[in-house]
Structure 1
């Protein structure tokens, strides 16, 4: 397993922790490591907790790739979209322990999990693409439309508003906020309680709940990856 990601196995859950020592940028290597960890978790059939490093959940896509454009950018973008879809359809509940800043693709991961616990502090969460000269891809638009409060959608997406942890709950990025020292314990408490669910029933019911969103996401992915770079990185 890559050193970017560590796995902790417990009777009730599998904890996946991202830590690149920096901003937890979602690079090719990070995506590969997270997906390999999810393969392990899926084989175990347990609830999944995904955590970040202290102060940084994820600052989003690797900007060195996104800024260069072309095929590498499209490949990285597709890996992000595929990870969101994987989490939305995962066979067991996915709990995020949002340990700090969650921006851009990091915020989209928050919109892809079943339950999101954040922690108090001076942290920013949001889709800041417009502020850094990028057009949010269609799949990101659909995730935001499905999971954010309708009254916040224009502000959050079109105006690149970033939220503190408490306001991120109202917006829809998080489900609750706890003190920093309680973050992992709370995620474990939730995962342990979810472990009592019947997992096949959970997966099937989740699929029914998200069926309309998944149909919209399928169309969004077609638009993103048939349109090419011009429709995604305009203004970058």
Structure 2
């Protein structure tokens, strides 16, 4: 197809518009999202931006945390910071979607939350600069997807587990989440990872493609910053184009089927029987309700 075709032009516009549009910062700040230190600490190690999630005990993904990360990435996308490291706190990277919040908020909350979650995965995965995930502990369900959206994943050696458990809860994947996992997981293990719901230690996760490097916990952040700096040493325009090229099949798939699959997934998330499944899973797993 000619390089100037309307289809390819639309694809390019779709992929890069997130970094060249009005970012609704005033609206987000009006909702309290500008108070990032309570949820997301932003610092710099030299020129490398470090985003440290600090949202509750387990960095559960809710509207606030997803909004903070998305907003900071969009700001950093046009800043002088050449790369980003994302990490968690206190032995937890992220436990995934806040299921208790989903139960409490019901359909009203989920209708607002699901588009915000998809946008976070979209911005993280298609971010034009290098992103390194420093997985300091458990990265479960949406937390695993978030880590897998990075260009490189370093995980601390120890008791942390990583994996996607959505189907064990009875919930489908957003289209972009499934495509991120397809992009990341070793093909021979993809079905096991998706349908098995395994929570893997670092070594098993590396075998399955979910983790690239395993390091001692005390060396994790420094190693992640060094990995980000190494990627940032590549010519920025060449890196961005190559990253775009490698992710183009994902973009094509989302443009073709994303809306259809997301509509079907949302319907399941919002169904009364899904609330029952979530409640049962939470009561068995977290012993909180």
Asked if the contact 2:92–2:139 (Cα under 8 Å) also holds between the matched residues in 1, the reply is yes
Structure possessing the higher relative contact order (Cα contacts under 8 Å, 6 or more residues apart): 1
1:202 aligns with 2:242: no
Aligned-residue offset at 1:133: 2.6
Matched positions, count:
236
Q: Aligned pair in 2 of structure 1 residues 99, 218: CA closer, same or farther (>3 Å)? A: farther
| More strand per residue | 1
Structure 2 gap ranges (5+)? 1-34, 278-289
Q: Aligned pair in 2 of structure 1 residues 121, 228: CA closer, same or farther (>3 Å)? A: closer
The 2-side partners of 1:194 and 1:140 are apart by 24
Match of 1:9 in 2: 44
Asked if the contact 2:171–2:268 (Cα under 8 Å) also holds between the matched residues in 1, the reply is no
1:162 is paired with a residue whose SS is coil
1:44 is paired with a residue whose SS is coil
Asked if the contact 2:134–2:221 (Cα under 8 Å) also holds between the matched residues in 1, the reply is yes
Aligned-residue offset at 1:64: 2.6
The normalised TM-score by structure 2 is 0.76
Report 1:94-173 matches (<5 A): 94-173=131-210
Moved more, 221-230 or 196-205: 221-230
Aligned-residue offset at 1:54: 2.4
Please, which of 66, 82, 91 is the counterpart of residue 31 of structure 1?
Answer: 66
Q: Aligned pair in 2 of structure 1 residues 133, 161: CA closer, same or farther (>3 Å)? A: same
Larger Rg: 2
Please, which of 83, 98, 101 is the counterpart of residue 62 of structure 1?
Answer: 98
The 1-side partners of 2:258 and 2:106 are apart by 18
The Cα offsets for residues 140-161 of structure 1, whole Å up to 9 and x where unpaired, read as: 2222222111121221111211
Match of 1:186 in 2: 223
CA RMSD, Structure 1 to Structure 2 (Å): 1.9
The Cα offsets for residues 29-66 of structure 1, whole Å up to 9 and x where unpaired, read as: 11121123213322323200111112100001111343
Aligned-residue offset at 1:226: 2.9
Asked if the contact 1:65–1:73 (Cα under 8 Å) also holds between the matched residues in 2, the reply is no
| More helix per residue | 2
Moved more, 32-41 or 147-156: 32-41
Q: Aligned pair in 2 of structure 1 residues 229, 193: CA closer, same or farther (>3 Å)? A: closer
Match of 2:12 in 1: none
The Cα offsets for residues 10-43 of structure 1, whole Å up to 9 and x where unpaired, read as: 4331111001240100111111211232133223
Aligned-residue offset at 1:91: 2.0
Aligned-residue offset at 1:71: 4.2
Match of 2:122 in 1: 85
2:78 is paired with a residue whose SS is helix
Aligned-residue offset at 1:221: 2.9
The 2-side partners of 1:140 and 1:115 are apart by 17
The Cα offsets for residues 92-136 of structure 1, whole Å up to 9 and x where unpaired, read as: 100010111001110111221101100111111111112223233
1:72 aligns with 2:97: no
Structure 1 gap ranges (5+)? none
The 2-side partners of 1:152 and 1:162 are apart by 13
Q: Aligned pair in 2 of structure 1 residues 36, 140: CA closer, same or farther (>3 Å)? A: closer
The 1-side partners of 2:77 and 2:46 are apart by 14
The 1-side partners of 2:189 and 2:78 are apart by 38
